[in-house]
Amino acid sequence: MDKKLETLREAYKDIPIPKELDAVVTKALQKKKKRKPLYIWPAGVTAAALLFIATVNFSPDAANAMSKVPFVKKIIEVITFHEFKEEKDNSSINVKTPAVTGLDNKSLESNLNKKYIEESKKLYEEFTHSSASKKGHFSIDSDYEKVTDTPVILSIRRTTQRTQASGYIQDQYVSIDKENHVLITLKSLFKNNQYVNVISENIKEQMKQQMKDDPNKAYFITDEDMPEETFTKIDPNQQFYITDDYKLVISFDEYEVAPGYMGAVEFKIPTEVISDMLVGDRYIH
């Protein structure tokens, strides 16, 4: 991997969602919170937003979008909170900041939206630092999309691509239980941490089969010359999402488990492989 991209990868890892949110899933499933009659934008998000606005100009389109939020208070949705583009010297940036609306769980909604805002702030700071250093062309593009939107689950993917000589693509996912208004974490899906090894072994089997079927595919699982790059197992908090047919998909950033030409890669995990370890079949079946 290009040393500059490796540095970027390490310096701009995903800002973790606060650990205390893991407990929200269990609590909410035991007792569903009562819906509030009115939508109130969390004060914490407002403060964070003002800090972000001080860095970049707030767009009229975003203000208009936020003004309509009270009318969709019963719908859990993701909207564009802010979008900005800028070019300076040999650097450019194009970033859309998503925001989740309509959750009864205002603590979760606030934390998720502050997380999105902080990520955008860091991207802008990265852009300004690069443009000031004038060390060649550098670009940042960040967008989002709903990959799953069922009556039960909303999964959001935020994709960020950095380009400097070559590119680096990073996908970040958030999955929400729309009925119970809670965050779905990878750990919360399983009874214990046994899932890490089981899923990892299945992914390695899929990698080997893909390379056997297609000689153009390659993964970091047998490189004796670079053992530090060899994929051994997933992180307990590995990026993931749940499909609209309730299957688990594990995602890896570009360069994380494969050469750059493979891009960001993902693996759908057969439910029968993990069914005995699942807490239940509400999300995956």
Tokens of 89: 């010297």
Whose tokens are 């973790």? That residue is 16
For the chain, list the domains and their CATH numbers.
3-183 (3.30.565.40), 188-277 (3.90.640.20)
Query: Could you give the 3-state DSSP secondary structure of residue 78?
Result: strand
Q: Is the pLDDT higher at 48 or at 148? A: 148
How far apart CA 170 and CA 88 sit, in angstroms, is 23
pLDDT beyond 70 at 23: no
Cα three-residue angle 54-45-11, rounded to 5 degrees = 70
CA nearest neighbour of 177 among 37, 284, 17, 43: 284
217 and 211 in contact (C-beta within 8 Å)? yes
Q: Which helix (H) or strand (E) holds 52?
A: helix 43-53
Tell me the sheet residues that pair with 252.
265
Residues 6+ apart with CB under 8 A from 236: 186, 187, 193, 196
> What digits encode the pLDDT tens for the residues 148-170?
999 999 999 999 999 886 778 99
Q: What's CA 226's distance to the chain center, in Å?
A: 28
Predicted confidence band of residue 227 (pLDDT cuts 50, 70, 90): low
Of 41-50, 81-90, 107-116, 241-250, the one with minimum mean pLDDT is 41-50
Task: Give the Cα separation of 186 and 137 in Å (integer).
Answer: 37
Q: Across residues 24-33, what is the average pLDDT?
A: 47
Top-confidence residue, 23 or 73: 23
What are 253's two structure tokens?
């950033």
The mean pLDDT value of the chain amounts to 79
Q: 128-132: list long-range contacts, CB under 8 Å, 24+ apart.
A: 128/88, 130/91, 130/164, 131/88, 131/89, 131/90, 131/91
pLDDT at 104: 93
CB atoms within 10 A of CB 135: 13
Q: Is the pLDDT of residue 12 over 80?
A: no
- 60: pLDDT strictly greater than 50: no
Q: What number of other Cβ atoms are within 10 A of residue 75's Cβ?
A: 10
pLDDT band at 100; cut points 50, 70, 90: very high
Q: What is the pLDDT of residues 191-207, one digit of tens each?
A: 999 999 999 999 999 99
Edge-to-edge strands, sheet with 182-183:
77-88, 91-101, 138-149, 153-164, 166-177, 182-183
Smallest CA-to-CA distance from 117 within 156, 155, 68, 82 is with 82
CA angle 102, 249, 99 (to 5 degrees): 25
Please indicate whether residue 52 or residue 131 has the higher confidence score (pLDDT).
131
Q: What is the pLDDT of residue 140?
A: 94
pLDDT value for 129: 84
Give residues with Cβ within 8 angstroms of 39, minimum separation 6. 69, 70, 73, 101, 102
Task: Tell me if 236 sits within 8 A of 198, measured CB to CB.
Answer: no
For the segment 165-181, the average pLDDT, to the nearest whole number, is: 90
Give me the phi and psi of 207, to 5 degrees please: -60, -50
pLDDT greater than 70 at residue 6:
no
